[in-house]
């Protein structure tokens, strides 16, 4: 029987020694703290999700605004390019007209210059002809006068 008692005591001591201690109150407290943390995390998660949703909406709105501004900028650039092309076309037409006018004026000036050169040459020829005729006439007059003077001189010498 001592063995039996020793075995019972050993079983009881082992079951008491290695048995579970009542930690239900500690576990309940930890559980409630974990529930509170879980609630806080859930609340923070929902706040963060709503913030992310708002940020996504703002991002989409910003993207739309940027797209519309870019589209408007491109339209303005296209209008400016069209206006510049029209201005360049107008300038090109005016430049061509001006070149034609300058060419016409140059041709007219060349004609007038050629006419003036012809007139100058004709005037020079006429002047040479007039001077040669005048020179010949004065030479003939001088010869007649000298001849007359010679004749008068010879008569004067012969009379003496």
- Tens of pLDDT, residues 110-153: 999 999 999 999 999 999 999 999 999 999 999 999 999 888 88
As a whole number of angstroms, the distance between CA 46 and CA 154 comes to: 155
Question: Would you state the pLDDT for residue 27?
Answer: 75
Distance CA 73, CA 37 (A): 52
Q: Specify the 3-state DSSP secondary structure of 20.
A: coil
Reduce the DSSP state of residue 22 to 3 states and report it.
Answer: coil
Look up residue 99 and give its two tokens: 């070149």
The pTM is what?
Answer: 0.41
Name residues of the chain where pLDDT drops below 70.
Answer: 14-24, 160
In the structure encoding, which two tokens stand for residue 18, read together? 């290695």
Helix (H) or strand (E) holding 23: none
What pLDDT does 6 receive?
A: 81
Q: Which helix (H) or strand (E) holds 19?
A: none
Q: CA end-to-end span of the chain, whole Å? A: 224
Return the structure tokens found at 110: 């060349």
CA dihedral 35→41→47→49, nearest 10 degrees, is: -120
Would you state the pLDDT for residue 157? Answer: 81
Determine how many CB atoms are found less than 10 A away from the CB of residue 123: 10
Per-residue pLDDT, 109: 94
Find the radius of gyration of the CA atoms of the chain. Answer: 66
């Amino acid at each position: 029987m001592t063995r039996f008692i020793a075995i019972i005591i050993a079983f009881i001591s082992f079951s008491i020694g290695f048995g579970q201690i009542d930690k239900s109150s500690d576990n309940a407290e930890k559980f409630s703290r974990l529930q509170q943390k879980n609630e806080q995390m859930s609340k923070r998660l929902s706040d963060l999700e709503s913030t992310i949703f708002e940020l996504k909406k703002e991002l989409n709105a910003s993207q739309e605004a940027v797209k519309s501004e870019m589209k408007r900028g491109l339209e303005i650039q296209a209008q400016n390019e069209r206006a510049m092309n029209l201005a360049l076309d107008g300038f090109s037409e005016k430049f061509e007209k001006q070149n034609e006018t300058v060419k016409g004026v140059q041709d007219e000036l060349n004609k007038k210059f050629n006419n003036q050169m012809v007139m100058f040459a004709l005037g020079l020829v006429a002047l040479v002809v007039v001077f040669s005729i005048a020179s010949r006439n004065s030479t003939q007059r001088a010869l007649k006068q000298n001849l007359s003077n010679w004749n008068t001189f010879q008569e004067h010498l012969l009379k003496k």
